[in-house]
A and B are shown apart, each in its own frame.
Chain A
Amino acid sequence: MSAHPVRAEAVATPLLAARALTLAAAGRDLVRDLDWQVEPGQRWCVIGRNAAGKSTLLRALAGVSEVGVAQRGEVQWAGRAQRDWPAIDAAALRAFMPQQVVDRFPITVARLLELSVVRPLHDARTVLAALDLAPLALRPVLELSGGERQRVALAQAVLQGTPLLLLDEPVAFQDPAHQALVARCLSTSLRAEQALVISAHDVNWIARAATHVLALFPDGRCEQGTTRQLVEASVLERVYGCRWRDVGGVWVAD
């Protein structure tokens, strides 16, 4: 199974698909009856309020089980049900960057990245440089700042070399310069056969980094479309529950 099919199938079938997917936690539907698919080359952004279920959705899409979350419906990777994928094949198909990581042992950034490679698709040095991590390569991960550690986690996900990347808030701790850097890196270092699903809050950053948007509403309904269709005052107002203005091409919440 591991050697041939991923790329061949990806041409015909979506890399990632949700079929009637419902995710419930604490007696509430976070996502209800989601039918959705991600094609190679697309960069999706999941938006929604705090606690809307963005992280829960991303974990479910990545195949990471979570205590207290009930799942109905199905997630498919390259046309095959997620649960039918052996762990070792799944590792070559999807990478997942969690919102936060806890390090316990002293290990350098370089060694961490070396351990994160499953398919040698990218050159580690290029990725390090693209994410402004080259000077940190020999630093122990325990000594990094929150923003630095987050960019290292992003580099880990990219270097895993998978067609599908799931990134939970990759720019939450980044300063404005590094937010722009991450957006640039995501659009340039991605190959045509790869696809991206990100969660993020900064609407202007999303408008720049994503091609498509999946909006989660507080009642569990979802709406999907291109970034141009969904990054729009009336949709944003329903997603976040506040008014939005377009000030010279920049979205501002009131």
Chain B
Amino acid sequence: MPLSGTRLATLAAALAALTFAVIVAALVLGSAGWDPEMIRALRAPRVAAAAGVGALLALSGLAMQSLLRNPLADPYVLGTSGGAAVGALAALMFGVTITLGAAAGALAAGALLLWLARRALATTDDASPRLILAGAMLAALFGAMASLLLALTPDQRLRGAIFWLVGDLSGADDGGVSLMGAAALAAWFAWRARALDRLLLGSVAAHLLGEPVTRLRFELLLGASLAAALAVASAGAIGFVGLVIPHALRLAGVQRTRDLALLSPLGGAALVVAADLLARTVALPIELPVGAVMALIGAPVFVWFLARGGR
């Protein structure tokens, strides 16, 4: 059932309240308990980074779903995050800025995926299962390349394999860049919302309605890749956020790109902050990588979506 304006506002308010509650919980809970100085110096930046990364990943997923016209698309599942990780590792090896390397890697992975999907995207009958398989193979390929690069660079400065392959927030920055990137991407989505809604009807349908399909696809590829790259540079490759959040919102009745673009970052932020809270408190005194927690949640959800026929 679609949502009326009031129900949509209620959902947005509930989601905002949930996000706020999760953030407060993540700030006050933890091994050291209540300590204002530690909250300000350590937990606040980490929570901000988690929120920024979650918002970016949710928007990146939304962009990839629009780009490939497939509700199962996600930057982690389809190899974009893997490409970013490889790019970041290569940048470390050659002494280039990590974010730049991650962006280049993510763009290359996204372009490769788009090239693999070109036949399906040019016609009205897009071949979803094949596209997802191709993306999964890309992800495996980039995972292997990242492992090789890690093996070739026994550098003390490198963060470990877990960080690049699974995702970990323990060494993240303060989240400023991530949050700003997410805000910019959400604003772009809201501006392009009607054209993007038409693109979801299929490339032929969108073209017949006068939309600049090629340019929209290019902008989506750029947005999805850069968002994934920023997230990976900050927290490594965390998966499934971009899949779970837009899908849950669609299940709740949100159908417009404009509304999805405004609510997805909230949901993504809440999810990653909550997952990171779990990761650092559930097995005290050990800290788990947040990516592993997300995969434990996300992989079964993905399989459940697949079993329902990808809808």
A residues at B contact (CB < 8 Å):
62, 64, 67, 87-92, 94-96, 98, 100-102, 104-108, 110-112, 115-116, 118, 138, 140, 142, 160
Contacts and interface: CB of A to CB of B under 8 A. Distances in A.
A88 B202 contact: no
Contacts of B128: 104
Contacts of A142: 311
10 contacts: A64-B208, A87-B210, A87-B211, A89-B210, A92-B210, A102-B202, A105-B255, A106-B311, A107-B255, A108-B255
B209 A98 contact: no
A105 B210 contact: no
Given A87-B211, A92-B210, A106-B255, 14 more contacts: A62-B208, A64-B204, A64-B208, A91-B209, A91-B210, A101-B124, A101-B205, A104-B311, A105-B255, A106-B311, A111-B255, A116-B209, A118-B209, A140-B2
Nearest to A166: B208
B197 interface: yes
Interface in B187-237: 194, 197-198, 200-202, 204-205, 207-212
A108 B210 contact: no
A141 to B, nearest CB: 9
Nearest to B1: A138
B71 interface: yes
A110 B256 CA distance: 12
A66 to B, nearest CB: 8
B71 A104 contact: yes
B202 A64 contact: no
Contacts of A140: 2
List the 4 closest pairs (A to B, CB-CB), nearest first: A91-B210, A88-B210, A108-B2, A107-B255
A116 B202 CA distance: 12
B2 A111 contact: yes
B209 A105 contact: no
B198 A115 contact: yes
Contacts of B125: 102
A102 B2 contact: no
B71 A115 contact: no
A104 B200 CA distance: 8
Most chain A CB within a 10 A radius of its CB, from B126, B201, B202, B256: B201
A91 B122 CA distance: 18
Contacts of A92: 210
A96 B198 CA distance: 15
Nearest to A107: B255
B209 A160 contact: yes
A105 B200 contact: yes
Nearest to A97: B208
A116 B205 CA distance: 9
A135 to B, nearest CB: 15
A96 B201 CA distance: 14
B208 A115 contact: no
Contacts of A101: 124, 202, 205
A88 B210 CA distance: 4
B264 interface: no
A100 B197 CA distance: 19
Interface string B239-267: 00000000000100001100000000000
A170 to B, nearest CB: 16
Q: Which of B202, B205, B208, B311 has the most CB of A within 10 A?
A: B208
A160 B194 CA distance: 15
B69 interface: yes
Contacts of A116: 209
B123 interface: yes
B124 A100 contact: yes
A142 B204 CA distance: 19
A98 B124 contact: yes
B70 interface: yes
A118 to B, nearest CB: 6
A139 to B, nearest CB: 9
Contacts of B311: 104, 106, 142
B71 A87 contact: no
Contacts of B209: 91, 115-116, 118, 160
A184 to B, nearest CB: 25
A140 B128 CA distance: 20
Given A104-B69, A108-B255, A90 B202 contact: no
Given A91-B210, A96-B208, A105 B202 contact: no
Nearest to A108: B2
A104 B67 CA distance: 13
B123 A115 contact: no
B2 A87 contact: no
Nearest to A102: B125
Contact of A118 (B70, B71, B126, B210): B210
Contacts of A89: 210
Interface string B167-182: 0000000000000000
